[in-house]
Structure 1
Amino acid sequence: MIKTNDSFNIAKNLELVFSGEDYFARLETIIREAQSQIQLQMYLFENDATGKRIVNALKEAALRKVEIYVLLDGLGSLTFPAELIKELKYSGVNIRFFAPLFSTYTFYLGRRLHRKVVVADAKVALVGGINIADKYRGSVTEKPWLDYAVQINGEIAKPLQQLCHDIYFKKRHLRNKKIKSAFHIQEDTSVRILQNDWLKGKNEICDGYIKSIRHAKKEIIIVGSYFLPGIRIIRALKKASKNKVVIKLILSGKSDLPLTRRATCFLYGKLLHYNIELYEWNESILHGKVAVVDGNWSTIGSFNLNNLSSYGSLEMNVEILSESFSARFQEHLNEIIAQCQSITPESLKTKTTVMTKFINLVSYAITRIVELVVTYTPYKRFYN
C-alpha cells in the first residue's frame, strides 16, 4: 500500500515518516536514545497496545533521569486513565492536560491542543498528524490510518523544544513565540516550523497554504482528511484553477467522522465545477493533512483545512522548500491517487440521489454550526 523506504531521506536530517510501524519505531527509538529531555505534546494518547508501548519507553527514560514533559489535550485524551497518570508521575514523568474539558473556572470546548510533536535533547523532532493509538499503527488484519509526519535532526529542534517547554509551563507572552527562521538542511532544502493559534495571533499555516496556492504554476496536490475549507482557501483554489493549475484533492472515502465526510461531499459539485480533480481513499481511514505545490513546496502536520484548525486549535506543520523532497513526495502522492476512486461529474451524478443531496446539505449545515460554536467559545473566553 505505502512504500516506506529511505528515498525521502535528505542528508539524514529530514525524512518523511509514514503512519504504521515506521512512525512508532522511530518514536520509540527517539525516547529510548534520549539523554537529557523529552517534550511530547499529543492530541490523542490511547491506553491500548501502542500506547502501553510508548508509556513503557517513557518510564524507562525517566529511570535514566531524562526530564520528560508530556502535554495531552484535555478532550482528545479524556479517557487517558487516572491510574496511569499516577504511575507516570511516580516514575518521574511530568504530565498534564491542556485545556481540561471541565475546570474550576470555565468550560473549554473549541481551543484544543491538536498538534502532534515530540522533541528530544534539542537534537531530533517528530512533527506530523499521527496520534498515539493502535489505529495509527495498524495490525495484521487492519491497515493503519493514512497519515504522515516528518523527522528532523539538527538545530531546528532546539527552538522547537523551547517552544514546547514554554507551552507546557504556560509561559506568558506566547503571542510572540514564533520560530521565524528557515533552517537550511542542504543547498536546495530549507525547513520552517509553522504554527496556527488564532487566539495568539499565529496564522502561519493557513497563510502558507493560501500563499502557495495563489502562486502555484503547475500542480497542487492536497490530502485533506476533514476537508471543509473557509472562503479564503476556496477562492484561492478557484483562482488557481482559472490559471490552468492542475489541482488534485485526496479525500476520505472512509472516515471516523461520517457527518464531516458527508459535509465534504456537499462541496463535490462546486469543486468539480472548478475543474478540481477529486479522489477518495478507501483502503483505510484517511487522517493525513499534507500538500505539495509545483514539486517544490510541501507542508506536513496537524492542520486540517477547516475552521476548527484555522480558528480554534493549536496546530503545527513543517513547511519544506525543496525540489528534491517535494518531487519525491509528489510522486508518492500520485501513487496514492492511483489507488483511489476517482470522483467525476458523471460518477457523482450516478451515485447521488435527492435523498443523499439532502443528507449532505444537512450534514454541511450542522458541521458549519458546530464549527461556529466551538471556535466562537474560546474567543469569548479569551477576551473575557
Structure 2
Amino acid sequence: MPYYIKGNKIELLKNGKDYFAAVIQSIKKARKSIFIEAYIFSHDVTGKKILTALKEASQKGIKVYLLLDGFGSRDLSQKVINVIKASKIHFLFYHPKISPYQMKRISLRRLHRKMILIDHEIAYIGGINIIDDMHVPNGKGPRIDYAAQLKGPVVHLISLSMVKLWKRVSWSHLEKSFIPKNFQKQIAEYPNGTKLNFIERDNFRHRQDIEKAYLHAIENAQDEILIANAYFIPGKRFERALIAAAHRGVSVTLLLKGEIDYFLSNATRAFYGKFLKEGITIFEYTKSFMHSKVAVIDGTWSTIGSSNIDPFSLLLAREANIFIWDKSFASQLKKNIEEDIRLGGTEILLKDWDKSHLIKRIKSRIAYFIIRISLGVANI
C-alpha cells in the first residue's frame, strides 16, 4: 500500500454551494495568509463573493496570493485584474497568453489544480473552479462537482507545493514572491484521524504520480471500482487495468459526462463499445453538467481532485489529488456518487450502443483521432 499520512481530518464538500460557503468562512477567519490556485476564476456571482472576501482579508493585513491559469481564466478582464492588484492582492497568471490551440507541448501544460490554503493550517482541494454552480455550458445547471476540506499534517505537503509553485511562477515573471521566510509551521495530528496522501502531477519529478496511484488501486481491487470522471479518455495501461479488473470479477462502474461541452469530449465515447463488451457498466450523467473527478475502490480507497482521466491531465497539466484510506469517508463518497447515478444517470447498454447512436459513434471516433493526432504533433 502506498504511503499515507495519519492523523488528519477531512470533510467532503459537494458542489459550489457547500464548497464556497466553507471557503468564505475560512477566508474570513484567516489570520496571516491565503493562497488560491485555480484554472478558472469567473467574475460571476460566486467569483465576486470570493473576490470581496479576499479584498477584505487583504485590507486587514492578511497576505493573499492568487494564482490563475492564463488560458482557463483568459476571460478575466484587465479592469478586474487592476482591481485585484489595487487591493494589494498578490496576483499572477500561470503561462499567460499561451493558447492550447497552438498544439505545442508548452501550450498544453496548464495549471489545472484547484486548491486553497488558509494560514498553512486548512486546505481545500478538488475539482471546483471559482465559478458559479449555474454558470455551465448549455445552461444545464447546477454543476455536479466535489472537493474536500483538509486539516492535519497532510496540509504541510500542500503548503510546500503551493509555496514552491508560487515562487517558481514569480521567478518566471521576474517578480518578488513576497512570501515570508518562516512560513512553515508544525501541524499536530488529530487522534484517530484519517489517513491521507497528497499527490500532485507536474512535468518534473511527479509526471506519472497520480496515474500510478490510480493504477495501483485498480490493479489491487478485489470487489468494486466506482469512478465518476468528467473527461475520461484513458491511456492503454489504464484501459487494460480496468478490463483486467472486470475479468477477475471486480464490479467496474463508470459515471461519465453526458453533456458534451466541446467537440473533443466526444472521444470518451470511443471506449464504450469495448468496455461494455468486457462487462464494464457505464452511466452518462445527463440531468445537469457533471464536472466530477472522484473514485471509490473496495469501500476503503477513494480520491478527490482536479485530475481528469485523459492525456491532458495525466501527461501535461499541473494537477493535485488527495487520496484517502478510510472506510467511513469512502462510504460517504460512494453514496453521493450512487445518488448522482440514481438521480441523473442514464445507463448505456451494449445492444443499444451497437444498434443505434450511429452519429455519436462517428463523432467519438473523429474526436479520438483528432486527440491522438494532436498529441503526436505536440510530440507527447
TM-score, normalised to structure 1's length?
A: 0.85
Native 8 Å contact 2:9 2:193 kept in 1: no
Cα deviation digits, residues 1-60 of structure 1 (max 9, x gap)? xxxxxxxxxx99211111131111111111111110001000000111111111111000
Please name the residue that 1:32 is paired with: 28
Q: 2:116 aligns with which of 115, 118, 122?
A: 118
> 1:170 pairs with 168, 171, 182, which one?
168
2:111 partner letter: L
Name the counterpart of 1:6.
none
Tell me whether 41-50 or 355-364 shows the greater mean CA deviation.
355-364
Q: Determine if the alignment matches structure 1 residue 14 to structure 2 residue 10.
A: yes
Q: Deviations over 1:100-138 (max 9, x none)?
A: 1349xx994111100000000111111000001124678
Give 3-state SS (helix, strand or coil) of 1:169's partner. Answer: helix
83-92 or 208-217, which moves further after superposition?
83-92
Structure 1 residue aligned with 2:48: 52
1: CA distance, partners of 2:59 / 2:194: 38
Inter-partner Cα distance in structure 1 for 2:252 and 2:105: 40
Q: Among residues 283, 301, 306, which one is paired with 2:305 in the alignment?
A: 301
Deviation sequence 1:277-316 (CA, Å, 0-9, x none)? 0001011111111100000000100011111111110000
Aligned residues of 2:38 and 2:68 also touching (Cα < 8 A): yes
SS at structure 2 position matched to 1:275: coil
Q: Which residue of 2 aligns with 1:334?
A: 338
Q: Pick the aligned partner of 2:234 from 229, 235, 242.
A: 229
Q: Find the aligned partners of 2:206 and 2:116 in 1 and give their Cα distance.
A: 23
In the alignment, what sits opposite 1:98?
94
Query: C-alpha distance in 2, partners of 1:243/1:188?
Result: 33
Match of 1:314 among 310, 314, 318: 318
* 1:343 aligned onto 2:348: yes
3-state DSSP of counterpart to 2:110: coil
Pair 1:190-2:195 in alignment: yes
Aligned pair partner of 1:267 in 271, 280, 289: 271
Match of residue 155, structure 1, among 129, 137, 153: 153
| Aligned-residue identity in percent | 33
Question: How many Å separate the matches in 1 of 2:30 and 2:217?
Answer: 36
Name the CA shift for 1:136/1:124 in 2 (closer, same or farther; >3 Å).
farther
Q: Which amino acid aligns with 1:266?
A: A
Question: What is aligned with 2:288?
Answer: 284
**Residues 89 and 227 of structure 1: CA distance in aligned 2, closer, same or farther (over 3 Å):** same
Correspondence list, 1:195-214, <5 A: 195-214=200-219
Among candidates 238, 242, 245, match of residue 247 of structure 2: 242
Report the CA distance between 1:348 and its aligned residue: 1.4
Deviates more, 1:198-207 or 1:124-133: 198-207
Q: Which amino acid aligns with 2:321?
A: N
Q: Which runs of 5 or more structure 1 residues have no equivalent in the other structure? A: 1-10, 173-182, 377-384
Residue matched to 1:63? 59
1:367 aligns to what? 371
Against the structure 1 CA distance between its residues 102 and 263, is the aligned structure 2 distance closer, same or farther, given a 3 Å change threshold? closer
Cα distance in 1 between the residues matched to 2:127 and 2:379? 20
Partner Cα distance (1:185, 1:281) in 2: 37
| In 2: Cα distance, 1:186 partner to 1:218 partner | 30
State which of 32, 39, 42 in structure 1 corresponds to 2:38: 42
Say what the alpha-carbon RMSD is for the aligned residues.
2.3
Q: Contact between 2:120 and 2:155, CA under 8 Å: does it hold in 1?
A: yes
Query: TM-score under structure 2 normalisation?
Result: 0.86
Structure 1 residue 160: Cα displacement: 1.5
Contact persistence 1:71–1:98 (CA under 8 A)? yes
Number of corresponding residues:
350
Q: Is the 8 A contact 1:188 1:323 kept in 2?
A: no
- Cα distance in structure 2, aligned partners of 1:326 and 1:203: 24
**Cα distance in 1 between the residues matched to 2:45 and 2:124:** 21
Query: Residue 228 of structure 1 aligns to which amino acid in structure 2?
Result: I
Kindly indicate whether the alpha-carbon contact (under 8 Å) linking 1:101 and 1:109 is maintained by their aligned counterparts in 2: no
